[in-house]
Structure 1
Amino acid sequence: MRILLVSSSETETVYLHKAFRESAHSVQVADNLRYALYLASYEEFDAIVISAVGLSLTMALFDALPELAQLPRAPSVIVALASGTAQDRARVLRAGADACFVQPYSFLEMQERMLALHRASAARSSQSAQLPIHASKLKLDPLTRDLVEDTRRVLLTKREYLLIECLLRQANAPVARDQLIRYAWPDKEDVDPASVNLVVSRLRRKLELNGFRAKVETISRFGYQLTS
């Protein structure tokens, strides 16, 4: 999943960024809600996680939540408060959040709630878009980090998982190399194109050895395309 993490606390940022990345998510970090709104207006995210432990974020939270809830691509909005009562959590949800946690919270529970919201959103999108059957047979299993096609499964590395996830967003359509780099290498500012080629090469070998029909094709001078 592509996650926008919003936090003004360095401790929380380091903790959540590491936890999400270890769970094979692509993470972009913003230290304030204005910048987060800007990013979410131009880039596609599956979830926006706001760690409102700092005073500045807490004060701006209720102004930003209605705007975040109205973003055109409708990412899930998850808020973690430093403290709060049931009434505080209810107020956050009424303002536009999809889930609200209070410290000390369980990262596992937060992630499972985030995945559940993503599954529900994906199901609604598939029904409204009436995706062709052949495009829906290829999917990722976030629990095992497997790529699944019918009865075939293959375990992916974290980088392979992110790269395939990015390609799956535009299955059967070209995806620019720069877009793949931002998605699969969010922690690096300068990525050698050879690194992308290496991951793609490993993916192709895994797909071929495991009898997958899906293929990763090179689009000359542009990027790659996942053909299912």
Structure 2
Amino acid sequence: MKQNILLVEDEKKIADTIQAGLGEYNYNVVTAYNGLEGKDLYYSGKYDLIILDINLPVMNGYELCKMIRYKDKQVPIIMLTAMDFTENKIEGFEAGADDYIAKPFEFRELVARIKALLRRADFKGAPVEEKVLKLADLEMNVDSKEVKRGSKKIALTAKEFQLLEYLLRKRGKVVSRADIAKDVWDIDFDTQTNVIDVYVNFLRKKIDKDFAPKLIHTQVGMGYILKSDED
């Protein structure tokens, strides 16, 4: 699944180059050319990472960074600027930036910084402390390994339990077969095998067939999503 990046950069040539380059790495980049436009795009979308220039028209990068950080303590923010002075870096970090890259820069370095921050964000955001996972009347206790729909206990194999836990932790989000292969089976997705579809069908028979609302949904061409069909 593509990750969304908000880029706020007033130099159109630089912005277009970054957008095109990150597109080659399968990132979806939305671009704003001034601070106010960046603010509006931030409030109207959901982003996995934000790249801000400092010298922006209307609202500068420091102000925008503070505004974003006040609303979201977790989203990674990279400051991208020509001002490579210690005081500028300190001001950027104090505004809430996670990283700082001075222009001109090696594009590979930008990509490496993005990947590192996204990995860190995934780790920090993982609901590792959540021991009881719920959706509608489906409930899973991660410690006791019990699964119930309503008052009925449901017996799952170890791999079915692992797959259901993954879907519950990603509830409300579409996950591709490649995501499931990597995160549940720890393998690269093989388009010649239907093992993932088979296990999803196993789960459907156990947690959906005799119950309402249905929870496991297929998104054609994209993967699966666990949600209540009443949502």
Aligned residues: 168
Contact 1:33–1:64 (Cα < 8 Å) also in 2: yes
Letter in 2 for 1:25: Y
Flag the 1:150–1:224 CA change in 2: closer, same or farther, 3 A: closer
Letter in 1 for 2:193: N
Q: Give the match for residue 86 of structure 2.
A: 86
Letter in 1 for 2:63: D
Residue 112 (structure 2) pairs with residue 112 (structure 1)? yes
Q: Give the match for residue 136 of structure 2.
A: none
Residue 126 (structure 2) pairs with residue 126 (structure 1)? yes
Aligned-pair CA distance for 1:23: 0.7
Contact 2:181–2:196 (Cα < 8 Å) also in 1: no
Q: Distance in 2 between matches of 1:125 and 1:55?
A: 30
Letter in 2 for 1:9: E
Q: Give the match for residue 21 of structure 2.
A: 19
> TM-score, with normalisation over the residues of structure 1?
0.61
Aligned-pair CA distance for 1:218: 4.3
Q: Distance in 2 between matches of 1:140 and 1:8?
A: 38
The answer for unaligned runs of 5 or more in structure 2 is 134-163, 201-216, 227-231
Match runs of 1:151-190 below 5 Å: 151-154=186-189
Match of 1:211 among 153, 173, 194: 194
Identity %: 17
Flag the 1:38–1:73 CA change in 2: closer, same or farther, 3 A: farther
Letter in 2 for 1:11: K
Question: What stretches of structure 1 move > 6 A for 4+ residues in a row?
Answer: 136-141
Flag the 1:150–1:45 CA change in 2: closer, same or farther, 3 A: same
Match runs of 1:6-155 below 5 Å: 6-52=8-54, 56=57, 60-72=60-72, 74-127=74-127, 130=130, 133-135=165-167, 148=182, 149-154=184-189
Flag the 1:146–1:17 CA change in 2: closer, same or farther, 3 A: farther
> TM-score, with normalisation over the residues of structure 2?
0.60
Aligned-pair CA distance for 1:212: 4.0
Can you list the C-alpha shifts for 1:57-108, whole angstroms capped at 9, x where unaligned? Answer: 7x71222221011234742111111132122212111111111111122222
Q: Which secondary structure does the structure 2 equivalent of 1:152 belong to?
A: coil
Structure with more relative contact order (C-alpha pairs < 8 Å, separation 6 or more):
1
Q: Distance in 2 between matches of 1:19 and 1:89?
A: 25
Residue 7 (structure 2) pairs with residue 5 (structure 1)? yes
Letter in 2 for 1:94: E
The answer for unaligned runs of 5 or more in structure 1 is 156-205
Aligned-pair CA distance for 1:146: 10
Aligned-pair CA distance for 1:227: 4.6
Q: Distance in 2 between matches of 1:119 and 1:225?
A: 22
RMSD: 3.4
